[in-house]
């Protein structure tokens, strides 16, 4: 669990403050957590759904997008923790559903926290300019150090709260209602994947007929290749 929380801090840093290498994307954090918890199947099922939904969530301009860095860690971490306590396959599917939903909720609720950090940074920027004009050029480095430390701490803290609350509230639900939850997963998984694929398709096609035709041709070609290629 400590590794999961630290990954929450690292993902919070990568999302915007440091480098933006996409290490914070749900598929990457879910894969790392899958290796950490020794359960690829659950981790990848959660990671794929969250990733396909996160792919079209972009930090363009001053927009504060949903916090999929935290959502990915909370979703996969919670799903893996719940699945580890369930011995049956059906209960593991219900853990996957709960993990995805918890990831989506954590990503949405993380937005005010990101906005709060950015408002804190406004004060830091004003302080920094005054310090530089007063002759302390090192204030720039100190401000950056402080902002990075704050982002890491907020990432770890937010993931800890979400995982703690999630385990406390959702473990009994998964244990008691695994049949209903696994049925809900069978319904929701294709809908979520379709929703995410449509967002990606819309981003690539951009109302150009030729690109829509490329999508159709690739879909049919790949489907035929898959069906015919299998003995």
Partner 1 sequence: MSARITRGDLRRMAARTFLLQATFNYERQQGLGWAWAMQPALDRLYADPGERRERLAEHTAYFNTQPTLASLALGAAAGLEERRAAGEGPDAAGASRVRSVLGSALAALGDRFFWFTLRPFAACLGVLLALSGSWVGAPALLLCYNVAHLGVRWRGVGWGYRAGPEVMSGVVRRRFERLTAALGVLGAALVGVTTAFLLAPGGDPRPLVFQVGLAAGLGLGLVAAQRPRPSPTEWALGVGALCLAATWLR
Query: Shortest distance, CB of residue 167 to partner 1, whole angstroms?
Result: 19
Q: What count of other Cβ atoms lies within 10 Å of the Cβ of residue 118?
A: 13
As measured in angstroms, the least distance from the Cβ of 91 to partner 1 is 15
Q: Distance between CA atoms of 89 and 92, rounded to whole angstroms?
A: 5
Alpha helices in 177-208 (DSSP H): 178-205
Q: Of 172, 149, 147, 161, which is closest to residue 110 (Cα–Cα)?
A: 161
> What one-character DSSP code corresponds to residue 61?
T
Asked if 27 and 40 count as a contact pair (C-beta separation under 8 A), the reply is no
Residue whose CB is less far from partner 1, 5 or 15: 15
Which residues fall within 8 angstroms of residue 92, CB to CB, at 6 or more apart? 41, 42, 83, 86
Nearest distance in Å: CB 26, partner 1 = 9
Closer to partner 1 by Cβ: residue 95 or 181 = 181
How open is the CA angle 88-90-92, to the nearest 5 degrees?
70
Q: State in angstroms the smallest separation of the CB of 40 from partner 1.
A: 6
CB of 208 to partner 1, least distance (A): 8
Q: Which is nearer to partner 1, 85 or 202 (CB)?
A: 202
CA-wise closest residue to 82 among 92, 74, 97, 73 = 92
| CB nearer partner 1, residue 129 or residue 175 | 129
CB of 34 to partner 1, least distance (A): 7
Backbone region of residue 219 per phi and psi (left: phi > 0; alpha: psi in -120 to 50; beta: other values): alpha
Tokens of 199: 């967002």
């Amino acid at each position: 669990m400590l590794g999961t929380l630290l990954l929450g801090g690292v993902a919070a840093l990568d999302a915007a403050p440091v480098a933006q290498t996409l290490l914070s994307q749900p598929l990457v954090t879910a894969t790392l957590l899958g290796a950490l918890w020794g359960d690829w199947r659950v981790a990848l099922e959660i990671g794929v759904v969250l990733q396909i939904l996160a792919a079209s969530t972009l930090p363009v301009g001053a927009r504060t997008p949903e916090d999929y860095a935290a959502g990915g860690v909370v979703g996969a971490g919670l799903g893996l923790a719940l699945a580890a306590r369930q011995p049956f396959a059906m209960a593991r599917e219900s853990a996957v559903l709960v993990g995805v939903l918890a990831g989506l909720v954590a990503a949405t609720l993380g937005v005010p926290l990101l906005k709060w950090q950015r408002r804190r940074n406004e004060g830091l920027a004003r302080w920094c300019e005054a310090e530089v004009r007063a002759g302390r050029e090192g204030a720039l480095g100190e401000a950056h150090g402080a902002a990075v430390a704050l982002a890491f701490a907020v990432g770890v803290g937010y993931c800890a709260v979400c995982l703690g609350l999630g385990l406390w509230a959702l473990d009994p639900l998964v244990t008691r209602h695994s049949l209903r939850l696994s049925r809900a997963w069978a319904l929701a998984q294709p809908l979520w994947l379709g929703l995410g694929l449509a967002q990606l398709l819309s981003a690539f096609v951009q109302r150009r007929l030729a690109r829509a035709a490329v999508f159709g041709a690739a879909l049919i070609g790949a489907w035929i290749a898959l069906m015919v290629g299998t003995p």
